[in-house]
Amino acid sequence: MLQKKIKSLAKKYAPEFIEVRHHLHANPELSYQEFETCAFVQSELKKIGIASKVMATTGVIAIIEGTDPASRIIALRADMDALPITEANDLPYKSTKPGIMHACGHDVHTTCLLGAAKILYETRTDWKGTVKLIFQPGEERNPGGASLLIKEGVLEDPAPQAILALHVNPQLENGKLSFRSGKVMASADEIYITLSGKGGHAAAPHYTTDIILVAAHLVVSLQQVISRHCDPFAPSVLSITSFQGGHTTNVIPSEVKLMGTFRAMDEAWRFKAHGIIKKQAAELAQSMGAAIDVHIDIGYPVVVNDDALHQIAKDQAINYMGEDQVEETEMRMGAEDFGFYCQKIPGCFFRLGTGNKELGTTAGVHTPKFNIDESAIETGIGIMAAFGAGVALS
């Protein structure tokens, strides 16, 4: 009966929360700058009747208690930040902020959690336990809003026994959900390398270090970190994405800067690889007469879904949606700071299908044309409310 009630309320409130999504989409804010979004979320929660507090400067935390509040404590998380992308969609609610766009669907995530909050509050006498709502800042940028919230005690007072979060997937048909047990998304670390040496006239390279040549050798050499040190059955990626040096045709520069990313699906290999990268880069630079500085900015850990929680959530999703609407999530080398939560308590990170070929909502996340089939919001608010109400975990 509770599940039917939640589905009915999700259908009833979907139009209201589509408008909420429009507001959020039109007013995006970058990581750690979500001040307007924070105030808006608090205002929406207050309208429902839910008190909230601010953590980590722009995060919003709220509690909804059902009957017997101490019997089970579940956290539901949504990220709120946008990306530095100029929107290319022609929409009535397109971004009003030049160069900033909700291109990863965090406006949808926030909307779904707000909608779930309204349903959970309305049905609070029908379910047992406590639901902690986490509206999180800074998912798109190191050190990750999740890590900051955890440091400030978001997983305490009360301490959740499990945490769940959804993420849009434009490659998954609208209204479907997908789940995966175990490793879901990779770790992500940022690589910054500065090479320096004697510059000079391009016509007399023998008087220089030729730092461009050193950097070119290093870019190629670093590919061996994966191909000759990593287990072929352990997914890993090392990409150098920026090569900055020189400004004209006849001068060999004295400095070159490289940037890149390192991804892995195994935490032990991840940190072993850091050492290999630093050693290999230093030895190559030394052999060619260059000085080098290598900095690896430690980013997000691997997202690992708890096996038991995953199965409970997947089974409930099948019960809620029907078996034909629930699929298997593919492993991805993208990263998510949800991994920080998974290191502390059982977590389940799942996908919400938002793709519709007829509507043209299949552009990938982090692209200027990203958009969703908004009928997926009904599914999102409903399934988040169902998980929070304990239908899945009772």
Q: Cα–Cα distance between 67 and 125 in angstroms, integer?
A: 6
Helix then strand count (H, E) for the chain reads 9, 16
Q: CA-to-CA distance for 27 and 15, rounded, in angstroms? A: 19
Instruction: Residue 17: name the closest of 372, 374, 352, 354 by CA.
Output: 374
Contact criterion met (CB below 8 Å) for 56 and 114: no
Residues of the chain with pLDDT under 70: 391-394
Q: What is the rounded distance in angstroms from the CA atom of residue 86 to the CA atom of residue 101?
A: 6
Q: Name the helix (H) or strand (E) containing 115.
A: helix 106-122
pLDDT at 1 (0 to 100): 87
Please state, in angstroms and rounded to a whole number, the distance separating the CA atoms of residues 345 and 240: 34
387 close to 6: Cβ distance less than 8 angstroms: no
Tokens of 340: 């920080």
DSSP per-residue codes, 65-84: E-BSGGG-EEEEEEE--BBS
| Nearest to 108, CA basis, from 365, 377, 357 | 377
Residues 6+ apart with CB under 8 A from 393: 72, 74, 162, 312, 387
15-69 tens-digit pLDDT: 999 999 999 999 999 999 999 999 999 999 999 999 999 999 999 999 999 999 9
Structural domains present in the chain: 2-186+302-388 (3.40.630.10), 188-300 (3.30.70.360)
How far is residue 342's CA from residue 164's CA, in Å, rounded to a whole number?
Answer: 10
- According to the model, what pLDDT value does residue 390 have? 85
Torsion of CA 39, 45, 50, 111, to 10 degrees: -130
H-state helical runs in 125-266: 145-151, 211-229
